[in-house]
Amino acid sequence: MTQKDSFPYEFGGPIGTGLNILFLPVLILCLTHWSAVGSVDFTTLPWTTNVDTLAKCIVGLVTWFLFQVLLERLLPCKLVQGTPLQGVFAARKSISTQECLEYRINGHLAFWVTFLVLQTGWIVKHEESGTWQFTSFPLSGLYDVTAELALGTSILCFGLSVYLYLTSFIGNKRLAVPGTSGNVVYDFWMGRELNPRIGNFDWKEFCELRPGLMGWMILNLAYCQKQKEVLGYVSMSMMLLQCFQGFYVWDALYQEEAILTTMDITTDGFGYMLAFGDLAWVPFTYTLQARYLVLHDPQLSITALLAILVLHIVGYVTFRGANGQKDIFRRNPEDPAVAHLTYLKTKRGTKLLTSGWWGMARKINYTGDWIMGLTWCMVCGFNSIVPYFYAIYFLILLIHRSIRDDHACQEKYGSDWDEYKRKVPYRFIPGLV
Ligand code: NDP
């Protein structure tokens, strides 16, 4: 059997990933359209061609990306070591578990600088007085060009992925095991190189947290402004959604270091899947609820909004509690916050937590994340399925991801993983699932 035949393909293999590459951008355009009209509507086109606007949007997107690069490069940062590197070398075919990469952690500062710049605006010449004045950014205009922005981002992501794929063949790069099938389409999707860098600029870590995540926040604010212009007020649902999602983005950047122990950073290569996911999928599908709310206020009662808020807090505490606990434990098992927890010492050398959050269920962090996502949809009421796209898609993603991680851990840990699963039998909900 050849390597290609025996390769453990995921996402439907070359055909499945090829279809994803082709159709995900189309799906984003459809969802953008449907969230504005408020229903799944096949009678009208999701996008009408306006090449001029598309070109301007592409210039705007590149400027936005470069602005974030500038902040990452120039703002003061904390230098943090990542986890010991996994992956294989293209030439030597060996795995080193000692070497770590250093990351520039300043995403939280970049978040606030971006926010400040948005509030301050830009300097323009006042037509009547002829003086130069600060004017806030006309964010609400983004509502009308969201389709062009989404299409422009998809084109740029494709270009970036081609660059990443081609450069992964230059020199003796460390490759991510899932992206080494030898099939062009599949490896293009999965990403060949584990940590593509220019100097110490890390493409993957940067894209995971900055342009897309902060782009999500900006689109949300744009839709909030638009609702004020169109309806004359900002609805309670919109306010709550802005708080929930704004906090999620802020929290991800505040806890930037925690991303260094996640699967995306430690295991997956940086290819179309992550580039498109981070830069296009996140900002344009995670904003569907805010886009929907612009024209559709469900006028939920205070009791309903309070119930949603409580559910959101439950989700957040679970999500952050579990991720934070693992991150602290992996960095320093002696830390007083985790020193009391029990763990399984594996033959591989690492330790698996068997009490605390990770003793309740093996993927309790996913459960918390999903609950939060569900509350984002619930603030839109129950008149349309469109805002619930996120909860449905995220459920599928997390189940699939948990299966992928389970396989990966089985490979890494062998019988230790079986032992861990005996000690912690539930996957998502303690005592149930
Ligand atoms: P995890 O943070 O769950 O990381 C999985 C890895 O953690 C395993 O491969 C293993 O790696 C280690 N691990 C597993 N069990 C234990 C244990 N008991 N004790 C210590 N270490 C353990 O997965 P993800 O990276 O997928 O997710 C991180 C967060 O990101 C989640 O909350 C998820 O919901 C969220 N997420 C959000 C997405 C979004 O689009 N909003 C998309 C994807 C994820 P090893 O032992 O080799 O270190």
The whole-number pLDDT of residue 346 equals 94
Q: Is 20 a residue whose pLDDT tops 80?
A: yes
Average pLDDT over residues 76-90: 86
User: What confidence score (pLDDT) does residue 89 get?
Assistant: 79
**Over the stretch 30-46, which tens digit does the pLDDT of each residue have?**
999 999 999 998 888 77
Contact between 354 and 342 (Cβ < 8 Å):
yes
Ligand 1 geometric centre to CA of 36 (Å): 34
What does the pLDDT average to over 189-218? 96
Average pLDDT, the chain: 92
Atom of ligand 1 nearest to the CA of 267: 9
CA of 350, closest atom in ligand 1: 46
Taking only the tens place, the pLDDT of each residue in 249-288 is 999 999 999 899 888 998 899 999 999 999 999 999 999 9
Cα 263 to ligand 1 centre (Å)? 6
Residue 370 has pLDDT above 90, yes or no: yes
The answer, yes or no, to whether residue 210 has pLDDT greater than 90, is yes
The average pLDDT across 347-363 equals 94
Whether 187 shows a pLDDT value over 60: the answer reads: yes
| pLDDT cut 70: percent of the chain above it | 97
Assess whether pLDDT exceeds 70 at residue 243.
yes
For residue 77, how far is its CA from the centre of ligand 1 (angstroms)?
25
The residue nearest atom 7 of ligand 1, judged by CA position, is 262
Question: Could you tell which of 268, 405, 411, 420 is best to mutate to test the pocket of ligand 1, judged by most ligand atoms within 8 Å of the CB?
Answer: 405
Measured from the Cα of 409, ligand 1's closest atom is 9
Distance (angstroms) between ligand 1 centre and the Cα of 262 equals 5
pLDDT at residue 90 greater than cutoff 70: no
Q: How do residues 220-241 score in pLDDT, each as one tens digit?
A: 999 999 999 999 999 999 999 9
309 pLDDT higher than 60? yes
Q: To the nearest whole percent, how much of the chain has pLDDT over 90?
A: 79
> Tens digits of per-residue pLDDT, 130-143?
888 777 788 999 99
Does residue 2 carry a pLDDT above 50?
A: no
Centre of ligand 1 to C-alpha 326, Å, is 9
How far is ligand 1, taken at its centre, from the CA of residue 312, in Å? 20
- In this prediction, residue 97 carries a pLDDT of 60
**What per-residue confidence (pLDDT) applies to 331?**
82
pLDDT at 136: 78
Ligand 1 pocket at CB < 6 A = 262-263, 319, 323, 326, 350, 352-353, 358, 365-366, 369, 401, 405, 408-409, 412
- Gap between the Cα atoms of 406 and 413, Å rounded: 10
Tell me the CA distances in angstroms from 140 to 81, 146, 282, one per residue in order: 40, 10, 19
What is the mean pLDDT of the segment spanning 287-307? 97
Is the pLDDT score of 91 beyond 60? no
Shortest-distance Cα residue to atom 25 of ligand 1: 262
Residue 126 banded pLDDT, cuts 50, 70, 90: confident
Kindly indicate the confidence band of residue 1, based on its pLDDT and cuts at 50, 70 and 90. very low
Pairing of strands 174-175, 132-135: unpaired
pLDDT at 94: 53
Out of 56-70, 269-283, 364-378, 399-413, pick the least confident.
Answer: 399-413
